[in-house]
Amino acid sequence: MAGRWRAATVAAHRPETPTARTLVLRVPDWPGHLAGQHVDVRLTAEDGYTAQRSYSLAAPAVGDLIEVTVQRVPDGEVSPYLVEVADVGDQIEIRGPLGGWFVWRPDDPAPVVLVAGGAGIVPLMSMVRTRRMARAKALFRLLYSLRSPAERYYSTELGSHQAGDGGLDVFLAYTREAPEGVTRPPQRLALSEINTHGLPPDSAPTCFVCGPTGFVESAANALVALGHDPRRIKTERFGPSGGRP
């Protein structure tokens, strides 16, 4: 059924940062999805021109409500509409859920290392929220690389301890500007930090890495260099950017 386009209505939206927002979409008869899966979104202009892009599901479904979080890409065709124009009541089309490899199931007891670059936090946040909702006990280590405090998604939720989040540790790596009081100088996520704030290869964690292509490649290489089994490293690339998030 994932191949069928479905009508989705914007039920709500909320800003995450000045350039990103979460859209809550109502999709009648949504079949449910796994943490890590994505949907394709299709927009149709009045003249019939269509454009479609992929967006990760940001949270477990609540009935027929699903969430995506979209980062505005300057001069992009689809993301500026979703971040700045789409409003409550508007209709778009979606297809999904899609993807069967980059997924986490709450009944999997294996420990998990999550490495996010920029908007790559979205499917990893879905895993964190799914774990919380299921009261799952698998150890989670989240390393989140971002440019500045202003670009931090889900800051309230990831910044304070939430019931059900025991066993989740979050490490923030600011690459360009750190908030006051943070002693780590702004710099790229280092291999030594993945070592310290991740989990040892001996514990055989499943590693999920998501973000811009260049970020994903360097983080996955670092995990391999630290001794993690490449078969347990799952990656999702969001876009062509090789720049640091």
Which is closer to ligand FAD, CB of 29 or CB of 75? 75
For ligand FAD, the binding residue among 46, 47, 75, 202 (CB under 6 A) is 75
Asked if 114 contacts 143 with a C-beta cutoff of 8 angstroms, the reply is yes
SS (H, E, C) the chain: CCCCEEEEEEEEEEEEECCEEEEEEECCCCCCCCECCEEEEEEECCCCCEEEEEEEECCCCECCEEEEEEECCCCCCCHHHHHHHCCCCCEEEEEEEECCCCCECCCCCCCEEEEEEHHHHHHHHHHHHHHHHHCCCCCEEEEEEECCHHHCCCHHHHHCCCCCCCCEEEEEEECCCCCCCCCCCCCCCCHHHHHHHCCCHHHCCEEEEEECHHHHHHHHHHHHHCCCCHHHEEEEECCCCCCCC
Q: Which two tokens stand for residue 87?
A: 């409003």
* Residue 25 amino acid letter: L
Q: Does 93 bind ligand FAD (CB under 6 A)?
A: no
Interface with ligand FAD (CB under 6 A), residue from 13, 33, 53, 95:
53
User: Which CB sits closer to ligand FAD, 199 or 236?
Assistant: 236
Q: Of residues 79, 126, 206, 218, which one binds ligand FAD by CB under 6 A?
A: 79
Hey, what amino acid is at 213? T
> Which of 23, 94, 122, 168 is in the footprint of ligand FAD by CB under 6 A?
122
Q: How many residues bind ligand FAD (CB under 6 A)?
A: 23
Span near ligand FAD by CB under 6 A; candidates 62-70, 85-93, 130-138, 190-198: 62-70
Residue 87: other Cβ atoms inside 10 A:
9
Beta carbon nearer to ligand FAD, 33 or 38? 38
Distance separating alpha carbons of residues 184 and 129, to the nearest angstrom: 27
111/118 with CB nearer ligand FAD: 118
Q: Shortest distance, CB of residue 26 to ligand FAD, whole angstroms?
A: 19
Q: Can you tell me which of 23, 25, 35, 70 binds ligand FAD, judged by CB under 6 A?
A: 70
Q: Which of 44, 77, 157, 227 binds ligand FAD (CB under 6 A)?
A: 77
According to the binding rule CB under 6 A, does residue 33 interact with ligand FAD?
no
Q: Confirm or reject binding of residue 56 to ligand FAD (CB under 6 A).
A: yes
- Among the listed ranges 29-37, 170-178, 187-195, 236-244, the one in contact with ligand FAD (CB under 6 A) is 236-244
Rounded Cα gap, residues 89 and 112, in angstroms: 38
Instruction: Please say which residue, 30 or 238, places its beta carbon nearer to ligand FAD.
Output: 238
Q: Name the residues that contact ligand FAD, by CB under 6 A.
A: 38, 53-56, 68-71, 73, 75-79, 119, 122, 212, 236, 238-241
